[in-house]
Amino acid sequence: MHAWRYLHVTAGHQGIQPARHICNIRPLKVNHDILLYELKFYGISDKVLQIYQSYLGNRYCRTAIYNDNENSNKVSDWAKVRHGVPQGSIFGPLLFLLYINDLPKIINKTSAPIIFADDTSILFTHSNLIDFKKNISIIFTTLNKWLGANQLSLNFNKTNYVQFTTKRNMSFNLQIGFNNNFITNSFYTKFLGVTMNHIDLLVKKLSKACYIIRNAKTYMSAPS
């Protein structure tokens, strides 16, 4: 599985209802047969394809558990790796991007998907609340079905959404889920290392910073 971040965002403006999601999919579930098919689809063939086949295939792994009492390791049998891309490799992120490259095409009619490495954002906006919820439900269902068809799955425990609204359009109750698994609402999220806060939290932080600056002003000399 691959850690996916699915962000569903809408910018509140003139009646627009906003929210933001984060999804997590994990690359350990990348199916090698599907990946090689995708490589062929994008024009990689002959010896180059054989190199990728060799790179992915004939890898084995096993588990070792250290026993403190016996001061020894318990080691499992070797098992062939049939899914995933090598972790920490240069090719790993590139192969995963090729694996999910057609995902944006199936969810871009009523949303704006953004993919950067293994972070995927999906943004929504609509002036009508009913249509807004409907679009989210359709896209979330489509997303999960696509993941299932490609032998991936969503990590619901690491998936959440954030609502961004104007004061005129207050936050509303929103349930987003698939097969009785639901993602949670959050007041902030990290996207590409940047923490994105709900506006209320941002205002509080700015107010605190302004208070500190005002009080520190009396101890600072004026520029000459």
Provide, rounded to the nearest whole percent, the portion of the chain with pLDDT above 70.
Answer: 73
Output 144 or 68, whichever has higher pLDDT: 144
d(CA 7, CA 101): 17
Q: pLDDT tens for residues 94-151?
A: 888 889 888 888 888 888 887 776 667 788 887 777 888 888 889 889 989 998 899 8
Packed helices 46-56 and 32-41: angle between N→C axes, nearest 10 degrees:
160
- Indicate whether this model's pTM tops 0.85: no
The pLDDT-based confidence of 10 (bands split at 50, 70, 90) is: very low
The per-residue pLDDT for 172 is: 67
